[in-house]
Amino acid sequence: MIFAKSPQIDIPDWHERVRQFLDRSDLAAESDDFVPLTGDASNRRYVRVFPKATNSFVLAVYEQRFEYETLPFVTVSKLLHHLSVPVPEILEHVEALGILALEDLGDVTLQAHVGTGPATDHEALYGEAIDHIVTLQQHRPSKQTSTLLPFTVTFDAKKFLWELNYFLKYFVGAYRGIHLPPAHHEMINLEFIKLSEELAEEPRILCHRDFHSRNLMLHQNQLYVIDFQDARMGPATYDLSSLLRDSYVDISEDTVNRLIGRYIEKMQIREDLTEFRCKFDTMALQRNLKALGTFGYQTAARRNPVYIQYIPRTIRYVRDTLLHYSKFSRLHDVLSTYMSDLK
């Protein structure tokens, strides 16, 4: 069901907006129970509603009202449905209240399953995740999809560099409290520019943009994809490195190698494996530095300590990549001067 816009309605606090939504909705009633869910690093709130007569569903509560047809979550959802990638169904929306009602996929993320499920299932699920990446990458914009948002937004050197500077600002500066002398700051910046330009030279394909274990949900024996609203064009290794160099879970190197092999086979890549692994590791380095920036921001600026536990694993990924490739030796030397855990 679609509710008409009511531009004159002022946006009240999220709790009151949920009550107003339930009062209008065909899915539930104002008196039905709901509970807040643990959110991600965004400013959206998520609420699970328990109707008395039907199945539960989830509300995504945005900070502001939105235009439904141009909302990134909606436009990307349409694309993923077109590609037969499993995503939560959009059940209702109220633009004036800034709320989407979504199918409830439960609570079992791939991260949670890796932590509690049988080990024999893990690689099969990761194989399914690789197949989702392949589905995205094999799609070529058609008359139906070429104007959708993900095909009009792209990673470029400027965006990569902004994310790397985010690491310096919020992880090195705000979280670690490190003040870099101007000379060393400039040295790091030059290395970041080279890294950003190298990644920007890669051919661009469709990327989810945040394809990791917390954004993959196990529901009805299928792996569903969530948090896809930032999808855009980027390097082929972007989603692959997000999945296999994931800050939230440990994956054995043997498993990583097999999953990369699965990806290469399905994508029919003829590139030398050593060259491909170098591209994969280079992309992973940028992703992991960006993740550290996010963790630093959440911890230092938003006083959210949840992400501290994921910092050591991410630091390890960064250290191993910096030490493995001579092209990163200068960057390693400067950063490790101030970050002993990179030595």
DSSP line for 17-73? HHHHHHHH-SS--TTSEEEEE---SSS-EEEEEE-SSS--EEEEE-SS---GGG-HH
Dist. CA 91–CA 97, nearest whole Å: 15
* Residue predicted with more confidence, 3 or 232: 232
The pLDDT score that the predictor gives to residue 171 is 98
The per-residue pLDDT for range 209-250, each reduced to its tens digit, is: 999 999 999 999 999 999 999 999 999 999 999 999 999 999
Task: For residue 186, give the amino acid letter.
Answer: E
Task: For residue 96, give the amino acid letter.
Answer: A
**124 and 234 inside one domain:** yes
- What average pLDDT does the chain have? 92
* Residue predicted with more confidence, 4 or 19: 19
Dist. CA 11–CA 173, nearest whole Å: 36
The per-residue pLDDT for range 269-303, each reduced to its tens digit, is: 999 999 999 999 999 999 999 999 999 999 999 99
User: Please, are residues 293 and 163 in contact by the beta-carbon 8 Å criterion?
Assistant: yes
**153 and 284 inside one domain:** yes
6: in domain:
no
pTM of the predicted model, to two decimals? Answer: 0.92
Q: Tell me the angle at which helices 182-200 and 157-166 cross, rounded to the nearest 10 degrees.
A: 140
Rg (CA), the chain: 21
**82 and 152 inside one domain:** no
In DSSP notation, 89-100 reads PEEEEETTTTEE
Collapse the DSSP code of 88 into the 3-class scheme (helix H, G, I; strand E, B; otherwise coil) and give the result: coil
Structural domain of residue 32, as residue ranges?
A: 14-103
Q: Of 49, 78, 103, which residue sits at a domain end?
A: 103
Which H or E run contains 123? helix 119-138
**23 and 48 inside one domain:** yes
What distance lies between CA 150 and its chain's CA centroid? 14
The per-residue pLDDT for range 62-115, each reduced to its tens digit, is: 999 999 999 999 999 999 999 999 999 999 999 999 999 999 999 999 999 998
Q: What is the CATH number of the domain that holds 24?
A: 3.30.200.20
19: in domain:
yes
Confidence tier at 2 by pLDDT (50, 70, 90):
very low
What's phi and psi for 65, nearest 5 deg? -60, 160
Planar angle of CA 258, 263, 264, nearest 5 degrees: 95
The pLDDT score that the predictor gives to residue 30 is 73
Which residues are within 8 A (CB) of 52 and not within 5 positions of it... i.e. 6 or more apart? 29, 32
Q: Of 79, 103, 127, which residue sits at a domain end?
A: 103
**117 and 91 inside one domain:** no
Confidence tier at 40 by pLDDT (50, 70, 90):
low
In the predicted structure, residue 4 carries a pLDDT above the cut 90? no
**239 and 263 inside one domain:** yes
Tokens of 292: 């550290």
* Count of domains forming the chain: 2
The per-residue pLDDT for range 43-53, each reduced to its tens digit, is: 789 999 999 88
The pLDDT score that the predictor gives to residue 39 is 64
β-pair type (222-225, 99-103): unpaired
- Residue 220 — left, alpha, or beta (φ > 0 → left; ψ -120 to 50 → alpha)? left
Confidence tier at 3 by pLDDT (50, 70, 90):
very low
**39 and 93 inside one domain:** yes
Tokens of 284: 């992973």
Q: Sheet harboring 90-94: ordered strands across? A: 33-37, 45-50, 57-61, 99-103, 90-94
**44 and 173 inside one domain:** no
Which H or E run contains 175? none
The pLDDT score that the predictor gives to residue 178 is 97
Q: 152: how many CB neighbours lie within 10 A of its CB?
A: 12
User: Please, are residues 224 and 214 in contact by the beta-carbon 8 Å criterion?
Assistant: no
Collapse the DSSP code of 212 into the 3-class scheme (helix H, G, I; strand E, B; otherwise coil) and give the result: coil
**251 and 195 inside one domain:** yes
Dist. CA 298–CA 172, nearest whole Å: 13
Q: What is the CATH number of the domain that holds 150?
A: 3.90.1200.10
**36 and 169 inside one domain:** no
Q: Of 103, 125, 158, which residue sits at a domain end?
A: 103
336: in domain:
yes
